[in-house]
A and B are shown apart, each in its own frame.
Chain A
Amino acid sequence: MTTRGGAATRHETGSAALLAFCLLLALAATVLAGISFGVSALPVARALHLLFVPDGSPDSALVWDVRLPRAMLATLVGANLAVAGVLIQTLTRNSLASPQTFGINAGASLVIVISLIAMPGLSAGGTVWPAFIGAAAVGLAMWALSVSGAMNEMKLALAGISIQLVLAALVQAILIANNAGQDIVYWLAGSINGAQWSKVWIILPFTLLGGGIALIAGRHFGVLALDETTGISLGQNARRVGGLAATLIVVLAGSAVAVSGPIGFIGLLVPHIVRRLAGNDQLTVIVLSAITGPLLLTAADLLGRVAAFPAETPVGIVTALIGAPAFVAILWRQRAK
């Protein structure tokens, strides 16, 4: 029995590693395609060459100053949102939870917009703190609704989406009142158009820190899926683990919103895709989500640049176009259970 179980685990680990490798390859290919494609297209070979041997030519500047920072930003934001999505679904035991459907992204977005208008001198890096405050405030409200236990999964998700809709309406109202209507799509749907290295440096520490802690603590998050008594008898402190997960969700989602606006559906979809592919082992799901999130977001960004060429569709609109039907599909499967 034990040997067979052990063999199965090893087999699963092996197939998860293979899956991770394939997903990484796909991510690399998408990033490379994203760097080659654009109004002035580069052959893939030349783009690849310039990546390793920058030669100071205009093409090299295009790759290094415009397209690479954008690809990096998409990768980091995708990883943040996906890992935050895994954690929030585990923490609330609700497979419809995500930074977006629980209003956390919109909370971050609203507080950033208010801060930017109240303090016009606020630097881009300074927006992460208001983002954390907004994300944490909505997160707390949703947590309070969630632990009261009165609502089932779908009602809780609907309540979260209602919060998101109200906060989004407030964002719109504030932007219109302050003659900043042109920023509406960015602060409602999210976008990485015009990404710069400065934004990459803003989010990178939070991705590394948040993602790193999530990986190290990954095994322990499994305890959140159990009831408290079982957790305690296994020597785990469910409350402390829950608090850690909640903090990570706020940091990962908040920093993503600070650099790219409230991009939706990545945090919702990626955990479902990954669980479908690789099963329910918590650590495996976190690792694979940290790869699948970037893959999905870079692919969506590429699609957004192709779909209305030469105009660019903000990536948040593309994720909504893909994500909304997928959300219906998730609800459909939910019903079957």
Chain B
Amino acid sequence: MTSAALPSKSLRAASVCLAIAALIVIVAVLGMTIGAVTLSVGQVLDGIAGGKSAFIVMQYRAPRVIVSILAGASLGIAGAFLQGALRNPLASPDVVGITKWAGLGAFLAGLFAPPAWAVWAIPAGVIAGAVAGALVLLAIGRSFGGGIAALALVGVALGMLAQALMQYVMVLFPTRADQSMVWLAGSVYGSTMTDVVALSLWLIACLPFVLIATIRLDAGGFGDDTLTSLGISPGLLRGGLIVVSVLLCAGSVAAVGSMGFLGLLSPHAARLLVGPRARHMVPASALIGALTLSAADLIGRLVALPNEIPAGIVAAVIGGPYLIFLLMKEAGRHD
């Protein structure tokens, strides 16, 4: 019975993932048609193959699309791990303010490090910010006990603090305000091949940890006592998941700024489509994150021509109502 059920579930998960991947490809190609010069789908495909529009497609449009896919996928996985580690369906890095702190770290590093060091200073700033945000949250959150909303509220308040700090620094250095707006709202505008390479390298470096964390994630659903009796150290398990989540979140923030609500939305949608098992849910969550972010960017570029709405704002408009829906659904449970 179980042996028959398992392959069918895996099959279902695989087909769902394939379908989402196909959607991502469609959104990506559509995304590459839009810009100062509108290209047809045929011209885009021709450009990818090295034809007449190769320069515009490969230099400008492809990097943007690839960065949105990679960053969205990292956020999707980061959300799945953090929610699993804390056993809290609301705890994604973007809800609890970790992305905001990472953005603040990036902005400060960009501001105070000498320009020649920016290549290293900004990623270091992102990681420092994300780690600081996560540590403060966990330190405060520990004493709040089980309530899922309490931790989320503390995180939201900390995120508001990071945002206000960033706005204050904006006032101090008005000439750098444009940059900080990007860190604040999240945007894939102006992504280059360098961003693609940097983010890819970061994700490749994280991949082994992501795989280990995915294998371990299912155990995260158990209580600490059960874990101990299974011979798993709860602290190590949850700590490890949190670390991987923070690292992935830092990578995406370094590339695209603090995107709202993708890390919240993707794991839930994935669980709905392929069930809660980590080896199905985590890849699906990554794909949904990638799809949502590239779609958000596409929508943001279409709705207000000739202006662009940053993808992070579109994502917040899509994801925020989902958080409210989730609160209503979860209303009776978890205290």
Contacts and interface: CB of A to CB of B under 8 A. Distances in A.
A is bound by B: yes
Contact of A176 (B152, B309, B320, B323): B309
Interface stretch (B12-20, B76-84, B162-170, B207-215): B162-170
B335 A177 contact: no
Given A154-B149, A155-B149, A166-B321, A321 B156 contact: no
Contacts of B327: 151, 155, 158-159, 162
A222 B26 CA distance: 59
B168 A313 contact: yes
B144 interface: yes
A141 B41 CA distance: 44
B333 to A, nearest CB: 10
Interface in B315-335: 316-317, 320-321, 323-324, 327-328, 330-332, 335
A206 B308 CA distance: 38
A183 B313 CA distance: 16
Contact of A173 (B140, B152, B161, B314): B314
A157 B163 CA distance: 19
Nearest to B150: A154
Nearest to B331: A150
A181 B42 CA distance: 36
Nearest to A145: B328
Interface string B215-241: 000000000000000000000000000
Interface in A311-337: 311-314, 317-318, 320-321, 323-325, 327-328, 331-332, 335
Contacts of A96: 153
A249 interface: no
Interface in A127-183: 145, 150-152, 154-155, 157-159, 161-163, 165-166, 168-170, 172-173, 176-179, 181
Interface residues of A, number: 46
A191 B154 CA distance: 25
A331 B165 contact: no
A162 B157 CA distance: 12
Contacts of A178: 307
A308 interface: yes
A320 B164 contact: yes
Nearest to A312: B171
Contacts of B164: 189, 317, 320-321, 324
A307 interface: yes
B331 A317 contact: no
A176 B309 CA distance: 7
A185 interface: yes
B150 A150 contact: no
Contacts of A189: 164, 167
Nearest to A170: B317
Interface in B134-174: 140, 143-145, 147, 149-150, 152-154, 156-158, 160-161, 163-165, 167-168, 171-172, 174
A141 B300 CA distance: 27
Interface residues of B, number: 48
Interface string B58-100: 0000000000000000000000000000000010000000000
Given A163-B324, A165-B260, A176 B149 contact: no
A130 B90 CA distance: 33
A175 B309 CA distance: 9
**Among B308, B317, B332: residue with most chain A CB under 10 A:** B317
A169 B314 CA distance: 8
Main secondary structure of the interface of A (DSSP, over half): helix
B313 A169 contact: yes
A324 B161 contact: yes
B303 interface: yes
B186 to A, nearest CB: 10
Contacts of A155: 149, 327, 330-331
Contacts of A184: 181
Contact of B168 (A154, A163, A172, A307): A307
Contacts of A161: 153, 156
A320 B161 contact: yes
A184 to B, nearest CB: 8
Interface of B: 90, 140, 143-145, 147, 149-150, 152-154, 156-158, 160-161, 163-165, 167-168, 171-172, 174, 181, 185, 260, 300, 303-304, 307-310, 313-314, 316-317, 320-321, 323-324, 327-328, 330-332, 335
8 contacts: A154-B153, A158-B90, A159-B324, A161-B156, A169-B316, A318-B168, A321-B168, A324-B161
Interface of A: 96, 145, 150-152, 154-155, 157-159, 161-163, 165-166, 168-170, 172-173, 176-179, 181, 184-185, 189, 307-308, 311-314, 317-318, 320-321, 323-325, 327-328, 331-332, 335
Closest 6 CB pairs of A and B: A177-B304, A166-B320, A320-B164, A324-B161, A169-B316, A150-B331
Given A314-B171, A325-B161, 20 more contacts: A150-B332, A151-B328, A154-B150, A154-B153, A155-B330, A159-B327, A159-B328, A162-B323, A162-B324, A166-B316, A168-B316, A173-B300, A177-B307, A177-B309, A184-B181, A189-B164, A312-B171, A324-B164, A327-B157, A332-B143
